[in-house]
């Protein structure tokens, strides 16, 4: 079945440092979504990427979708303590677009 792998599992950074999480799929994705989950909270939608090679920015966050639509990345510039949380990528199943597969997430800790 569809698998979405995410690395690293954990990342500890000093405030002001950059952070990147990577998402890789075993199959081509029609699109990919990114979510953020604060400690003790629920996942919150950040963005969706659809086109091959697409790059989208949200303030200090930059999202990329690979040319082959099999990988994606989220980069945060100059992290802040408010960035703490777990970041998930998610994509539809290749055999059934109603099924949605989440990566295992990258837990970001930011030291002030």
Partner 1 sequence: NAGVTQTPKFRVLKTGQSMTLLCAQDMNHEYMYWYRQDPGMGLRLIHYSVGEGTTAKGEVPDGYNVSRLKKQNFLLGLESAAPSQTSVYFCASSYYPGYRDTQYFGPGTRLTVL
Q: Where does this chain bind partner 1 (CB under 8 A)? A: 1, 6, 9, 30-31, 33, 41-45, 48, 88, 90-92, 97-105
Nearer to partner 1, 12 or 97 (CB): 97
- CB of residue 94 to partner 1, shortest distance in Å: 11
Comparison of 52 and 80: residue with beta carbon closer to partner 1 = 52
Nearest approach, Cβ of residue 34 and partner 1 (Å): 11
Q: Which long-range contacts (CB under 8 A, 24 or more apart) does 5-10 make?
A: 5/103, 5/104, 6/88, 6/89, 6/103, 6/104, 6/105, 6/106, 7/106, 8/106, 9/104, 9/105, 9/106, 9/107, 10/106, 10/107, 10/109
Nearer to partner 1, 2 or 77 (CB): 2
């Amino acid at each position: 079945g569809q698998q979405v792998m995410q690395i690293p599992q954990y990342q500890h950074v000093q405030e002001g440092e950059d952070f990147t999480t990577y998402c890789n799929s075993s199959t081509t994705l029609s699109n990919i979504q990114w979510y953020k989950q604060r400690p003790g909270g629920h996942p919150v939608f950040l963005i969706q990427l659809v086109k091959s090679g697409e790059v989208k920015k949200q303030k200090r966050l930059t999202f990329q979708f690979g040319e082959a639509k099999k990988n994606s990345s989220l980069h945060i510039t100059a992290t802040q303590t408010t960035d703490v949380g777990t970041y998930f990528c998610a994509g539809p199943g290749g055999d059934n677009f109603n099924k949605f597969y989440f990566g295992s997430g990258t837990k970001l800790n930011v030291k002030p």
